[in-house]
Amino acid sequence: MSDLDVTMIILYGLGLLSGWWASKIFHLHLLRSILKDLGVSQQDLLALLNRSEEESSDDPELDQIDIKVEKHSNTLYAFRKDNDQFLGQGNSKEQLIEAMAQRMKNVRLIVVEGREYMESKTVDTTAV
């Protein structure tokens, strides 16, 4: 390898680094001017970051369990889909959700059968 090849490699590397640095400075300046034009301050961004971190820590990943809901007379019954374990009963969907929440904490129940008896296909027992 000749001295010219080494010099070209060094110059290419310096050009690459200086281009990357110039691009970074340009984009930071552009982002700051956009945020300034929108009236968003650094405190606003930090508050948003803190709120986002709190929300993500407050909502842990919930285990999901498939359930089926049956209606006999005026009573709703809920069972696990995989093993037919009884989860609760109630005269209304609210009573049924409350009964299931007493038996199972911090899970997301997915209604796979009997959706017509519930307004939503999912029930989070953390909210009850």
pLDDT confidence tier of residue 15, bands split at 50, 70 and 90: very high
User: pLDDT digits over 96-106, tens only?
Assistant: 888 888 888 87
Closest CA to 103 of 123, 75, 74: 123
Q: What integer best gives the mean pLDDT of the chain?
A: 84
Q: Which pLDDT value is given to residue 50?
A: 81
Distance CA 28, CA 38 (A): 15
pLDDT confidence tier of residue 17, bands split at 50, 70 and 90: very high
User: pLDDT digits over 38-60, tens only?
Assistant: 999 888 888 888 887 666 555 55
**Residue 128 in this model has a pLDDT that exceeds 60:** no
Instruction: Burial-class residue 78 by CB neighbours within 10 Å (0-12, 13-18, 19+).
Output: buried
- Size of the chain, expressed as the number of residues it contains: 128
User: pLDDT digits over 59-91, tens only?
Assistant: 557 778 889 999 888 899 999 988 989 999 998
Is 79 within 8 Å of 67 (Cβ atoms)? yes
Q: Which pLDDT value is given to residue 34?
A: 93
